Chains A and B, each alone.
Chain A
Amino acid sequence: MRYYVAALAMLLALWQLAAYVINKPYLPPFTEVVLRMATDYQLLTKNLAVTLMRIATAVALALSVGLAAGLAAAWLSEKISANLLRALILLTYPIPHVALLPILLHLFGIEASKIALISLIAFYPIALSVMEWSQRYPRDLAALIYTMGGGRRDVVRYVALPSALPGILTGLKIALNTAYSVSFIAESLALTDGLGALIYDSWHRLDFLQMYAAIFTLGAAGVSTYAAMSLIERKLIKWA
C-alpha cells in the first residue's frame, strides 16, 4: 500500500514540477486543479454520478450477456451452436467497436447509444475470459465429480466456474477499466452530461483547470473501482 501512496506522490510532484517548467495554460499546477475541484465540487459530483450510473448499467449488461455467452460457447452440449457462438465472438472481437458508434446512435438514440457502446466494448474481455478460463479447469478434478456420482452440470458448478473465477474477475477488471476510457468517447459525442462531456466542453472553452479537474475526478473514480475490485477478488479467492 505504501508503495502506491509513494508512487502517487511522485506522480503529483512530477506534474507540479512540469507545470512550473513548461508554464503554459494547458498544463496548470496540480495545486490549482485541486482548488478548482473544490470550487466545482457540485458540478463534478453531479457529472460523476451520471458517468458512474452509465458505466454501472453498461458493465452489468456486459457481465450478464458476457457470462452467458462465454459459458454457452464453452459448455453448450450442442456442439454446432457452441462452435458457432465461439467463432462469432472471436470474429467480431478485433473490430474497432468505437467505429460502430454512428450505427449505435441510429439504432438506440443519444442516451442509450452511450450505454450500448460502453457495454459492447466491456462485453469482449468478459466473454473471452469466461470462454477461455472455464475450459482450463483441472481435468482430474472433473473426472472425480463423475466418479462421485455427479454430472456435467456439477462439473461446471463445482470445477469449471470456481477454477475460472480468477480469470473471470481479471476480465471484469479489464472491462471496467476499458469502460472508464470509453465513457469519455461516448459522452463527448453528445454533450449532455457526464464527466466525458464536461472534459470535452471545458477543453473546447480552453478552461483547462476545469478540464483537469474533471479528468482527475474520472481518474480517481477509475482507480477506486480498480482497488474495490481487487479487494473483492481477495475476498472471493481466499483459497488461491
Chain B
Amino acid sequence: MIRLSGVTYKYRRGPAALYNFTAEFPPGITVILGPNGSGKTTLLKIIAGILRPQSGVVEIMGKTPEELRGKIAYIPQTGGLYPWMTVRENIALPLKLLRHPNPDEAVKPVAEALGISHILERYPKEISGGEQQKVLIARSLASGAEVWLLDEPLSMIDVDYRREIIQLLRKINKTMVIITHNVQDAVDLGGRIYIVKGPPLQIVTATSPDHYTDAEKLAEMAREAFRR
C-alpha cells in the first residue's frame, strides 16, 4: 500500500505540481489517467524518492521512499537504460548495487522468461523501443522490487510489443502505479483507474474495472471529469 498525505511539491518556476495531495494506492495495478503536464510524473518521482516534497508524508508499506531504496522499480518514460552498459549489464545493475554474489548469472532466467536472451550483449541503441521496455521490466524483475512505478510504459512502442508488455505487466503481482494519458492503455492494463487533472494534481474520479466496459465509456468519463 502506498499512502500520500498532504503532499506539496513546487518546482522553482510555475505553479505547484502537487498541492496538499492525498491518495492511497493499494496492492495491484493502479492506472493514473490524465493529460500531459498535469503532474503525474512528479507524483511518480515523489513516490520513487527521486523528488522530495516540500511538505506532506509519503509512506510505502509503512516506510519512507528512502528507507525502501532497492525495493522500488521506477521506469521512466524515456532514457531509463544506461547507454554505456549492454542489456546484460543493465539488467544486472540493481543486483550489483545490492551486492548480489553473482549478478550476471541471475540475469539469465529473467532474460529467458522475457524472451530477450538473444539481445543480452547488445547496447540499448542497438535494440528497438519495445525491446528497451522489456529490458526495463527485466531489470525491475531481477531487482525483486516490491513497488513498481511506470511512466507511460506503452507510449513509445509498436502494436506487437504493446500487447506483450500489457500481458507481462498484468502477470506481475506487485503494487504497481502506471501513469498514462491514453484511455485505451488505461482500459487494457485493467486495474483501478484514477482520472486526474492538474496542475496541481488532483484525483477527479476513481473507478475500477467493474465500472467501465470499454475505452469509449472511460473516455467519456475522463472528458466529463476534465470539464468539472
Contacts and interface: CB of A to CB of B under 8 A. Distances in A.
Given A140-B76, A140-B79, A159-B82, A149 B123 contact: no
A82 B70 CA distance: 30
A65 interface: no
A238 B69 CA distance: 31
Given A140-B76, A239-B123, A146 B69 contact: yes
A239 B49 contact: no
Interface string B60-80: 000000000111111010011
Contact of A148 (B85, B123, B143): B143
A60 interface: no
Interface residues of A, number: 21
A41 interface: no
A146 B50 contact: yes
A148 B84 contact: no
Interface in B78-104: 79-80, 82-85, 93-94, 97-98
A147 B50 contact: yes
B48 interface: yes
B84 A149 contact: no
Interface string A136-167: 00101101111111100010001100110100
Contact of B69 (A149, A159, A237): A149
Contacts of B94: 148-149
A238 B93 contact: no
A158 B90 CA distance: 10
B173 to A, nearest CB: 21
B97 A144 contact: no
A163 B85 CA distance: 11
B221 to A, nearest CB: 33
A141 B125 contact: no
Given A140-B79, A159-B82, A145 B97 contact: yes
B70 to A, nearest CB: 3
Per DSSP, chain B at the interface is loop
Contacts of A145: 97
A141 B79 contact: yes
A150 B93 CA distance: 10
A148 B80 contact: no
A147 B49 contact: yes
A162 B82 contact: yes
Contacts of B49: 146-147
B70 A239 contact: no
B70 A149 contact: yes
B179 to A, nearest CB: 16
A239 B97 contact: no
A144 B139 CA distance: 12
Contacts of B69: 146-149
A144 B145 CA distance: 13
Nearest to B48: A147
B50 A143 contact: yes
Contacts of B93: 148, 158
A144 B80 contact: yes
A162 to B, nearest CB: 4
B47 to A, nearest CB: 10
Interface of B: 45, 48-50, 69-74, 76, 79-80, 82-85, 93-94, 97-98, 123-125, 143
Given A147-B49, A147-B74, 14 more contacts: A140-B79, A141-B79, A147-B50, A148-B73, A148-B97, A149-B94, A150-B97, A154-B97, A162-B85, A238-B123, A239-B85, A239-B123, A239-B124, A240-B83
Q: Return the 3 tightest CB-CB contacts between A and B, nearest first.
A: A149-B70, A150-B97, A162-B84
28 contacts: A141-B79, A141-B82, A144-B50, A144-B76, A144-B80, A145-B97, A146-B50, A146-B69, A147-B50, A147-B69, A147-B73, A147-B74, A148-B69, A148-B97, A148-B98, A148-B143, A149-B70, A149-B71, A149-B94, A150-B97, A158-B82, A158-B85, A162-B82, A162-B85, A237-B84, A239-B83, A239-B84, A240-B83
